Each structure stands twice: as C-alpha cells, then as structure tokens.
Structure 1
C-alpha cells in the first residue's frame, strides 16, 4: 500500500482528501503544519503539499524534500494559480501542481501517476503457484476463476473492466450469467485478503459498470 503524507492546514479539506484517498486504497497520514509534516516524512512514499501554511511555505518544503528525500513523489495542492507559481513549484521539485478547488478523482489520477513513476505497489499474480502476492511479499491463494478475473484486470490496468467482459472471460454469455456469482466472488476475495493482512485489497467496484484493480499487477507464468 502506497503511503501518502498530506500537508494541508485546512482541516475540513484535509479530512475530505484523506478519506477519499483511503477509500481508493492508499494509506494516508495527515499533517496540519510543516513541523508535523517533517516528523512523519521518512515514512512517506508520496507527499501532497499545500503552499500556504501556518509555519512555513509549501514551495520551500517541496524544494527541501527534493534535496533530502528524492525518492518521495510530490504533488503541490494550492490556491496559487498563476502560471509563474506553477512553474516555480515544478522547478522546485513538484511532480505535479494542482490548483484549488480540486477534483478528487483528478487528484487520485495524479497520485496514481506518481506511484507508477516511482515503481511502487507492484503486485504479482503467480499462475503456477496460484497465488496473488502483495508488494511486501504477503500472498493469498487464488482459485481458477479468481485467476481468470485477476488476469483480465491486469491486462486492463487503469480501465474499468465491464461485467459482460468478465462473464465472457469465464466462458459464458452475459445474458446467461448470474451476476450475483461475480459479486460473491469479489466479496470472498476481498474478505480473505482482509482476514489475512488486515488491509483492503485494491480491487475497486465501479458501480453500474464493473471492476478495476487500483495497482499494477505483473502476471508471472
């Protein structure tokens, strides 16, 4: 699970962003000041940084982070929307510069982009062993139908896999398929993973459409 450190002094916005990213499968730690941020930064994979802060400047924090923690991806999130401010933020080391008010889905896409660049969160579906491995090495046994589903999701990273497409991968026509079986399969897979690790499987329901896996999966023969 990628660890996001969110530096934002507006409590309501900070809580809203944190709740959303957690629902997307990220581990989120919150900081309302530069001092609080610096105490937690060593554990972060990705930092989201506001520009206007009570005890410092987000541009300076971004520049310092690039020098001291170059492995951490950085997204600036600020009301300062001039082109000069944006160029300044990017030159100081931000991977992306987002202007408030933000769209949460857009922010999620940028976080996912930074994560891919950093090479974080590579899951492995091992076909011979019939196991799904998390990036930290933990694994869960998967059955034949779950392997078919996960392979399909892996081939369509970043896209929603529609329910009829999943049914066809199972070798049946959607009109003849009881979609409750698919919902039950997803539920069992999530429940087993949570019971094993205490964490959410990054398998997202796209309501009214299908499913998507929120992380990269490498399929190993």
Structure 2
C-alpha cells in the first residue's frame, strides 16, 4: 500500500483529499504544518503539498525532499496559478502541480499516475548483470536511461523525473516534432488529465536548466502551434521558436 502524506492547513480540503485517497486504498497521513511534514517525510511514498503553510513555505519541504534521490514524489496543491509559481515549483522538484479549486478525484488520478511513473523508474534503474547502455542522440544533449542522468556537452544537468522523461522522449527521435498530447501520453500515460500549460511549464524549466548547464536554448525548440523537438539546427523563419515555451 502506497503511503501518501497530505500537507494542507485547510481542514475541509485536507479531509476531502484524505477521504478519496483512503477510499481508493492509499495509506494516508494528514498534517497541517511544515514541522510535522518534515517528521513524516521519510515514511511517505508521495506528498501532496500546499505551498502556503502556517510555519513556513512548502518550497522548504520540496528542497528537503530533493536532497535524496530516493525522496518521495511530490504533487503541489496551490491557489497560486501564475506561470512563475508553477515553473518555480517544477524547477525545485515537484512532479506535478494542481491549482485550487480542484476535484479530489482528479488529485487521486494524478497520485496514481505519478506513483505509476515512479514505479516504472525503479524498474528501469534496478541493478542488472548487463553493463549500462547509454541512450544518446547525435546532439549536444544526451541521456542515459540506466542511470537517469542527462548531459549537455558533457556537463550534467540536474533534472526532475518529469523533465528527464520529457527530454528522453524527444531524444528518442531527434528532430521530430512531438505534439503536447503525444508528450502527455508518453510521459504521463494514457487517460491522464493534464493541461498544455503544464507541459509548457515543464519544458520551460527543462530549457532553463539546459542553458544554465552551458547548453543553447535552441537545443529544445518550440514549433509554434504544434509542439516541441530537440534539434541542433537553428529554427527557420516561420517554423519555430527556440526561446519561448
């Protein structure tokens, strides 16, 4: 049974989420402060996290959880719906971002999807008798599926789970344009409700980290009205945009 930690200081919201989680078979613990959340964090497989808490910011818990590679998955639940807040949470290590108001059933669906993706990562990175086989595109960007590490011109890029999966998906076919629905299907799974805006936020965060590691923003190209691709070829007039999400 997966253990879910709900960190939310509004009792009605916390009780609603906990009810649906427990009904679906999840072991659920509810806390309403940052201090209690830090104590419960080591026992959680997934955290549903409000960013505004009475004794601190949810970003502190995000940073704490990401200090360990074995830390829990995190879904941010927040009334902040600006792109800046969404990108900041994703860059800090959130696996998903849900804005209030929300449907508790949707939150449970997202919990299942994030845990399913995390379980797939554990299988993919399990020890093997075979030597690791890097999956690398003939570009400046490279990913190694066996170690789940990404590099740009030899410099490691510190990515979240979702960012790595998005990059690996696009690097599987360099130069191919992936539509947002295709990325959602390949990264999150069939039937998962996620918006184009969330995809754009993840790609923006991914591109920013690539640039900070010494890469070019043009390596992850936006094709207007279509989607995204990884390329080492500059965008042509009217074809794409290398700098916007």
Quick one: distance in 1 between partners of 2:96 and 2:18? Answer: 18
SS at match of 1:80: coil
**Deviations for 1:85-111, whole angstroms, at most 9, x for unmatched residues?**
000000000000000011112111110
Instruction: Please tell me whether residue 114 in structure 1 is matched to residue 118 in structure 2.
Output: no
Unaligned residue ranges in structure 2 (runs of 5+): 121-188, 192-245
- 3-state SS of paired residue (1:67): coil
The match for 2:83 is 83
Give the whole-Å Cα distance in 1 for the aligned partners of 2:35 and 2:111.
23
Is the CA contact 1:71–1:118 (under 8 Å) kept in the aligned structure 2?
A: no
Equivalent position SS for 1:71: coil
Match of 1:47 in 2: 47
- Structure 1 CA distance, aligned partners of 2:11 and 2:99? 18
Q: Is the 8 A contact 2:65 2:71 kept in 1?
A: no
Alignment of 1:57 onto 2:57: yes
RMSD (Å) for aligned C-alpha atoms: 2.1
CA distance 1:30–1:69, shift in 2 (3 Å): farther
Aligned length: 124
Conserved 8 A contact 1:73-1:118: yes
Structure 2 residue aligned with 1:24: 24
Q: State the TM-score, normalizing by the size of structure 1.
A: 0.53
Deviation at 1:82, TM superposition (A): 0.3
Give the TM-score of the pair, scaled to structure 2. 0.48
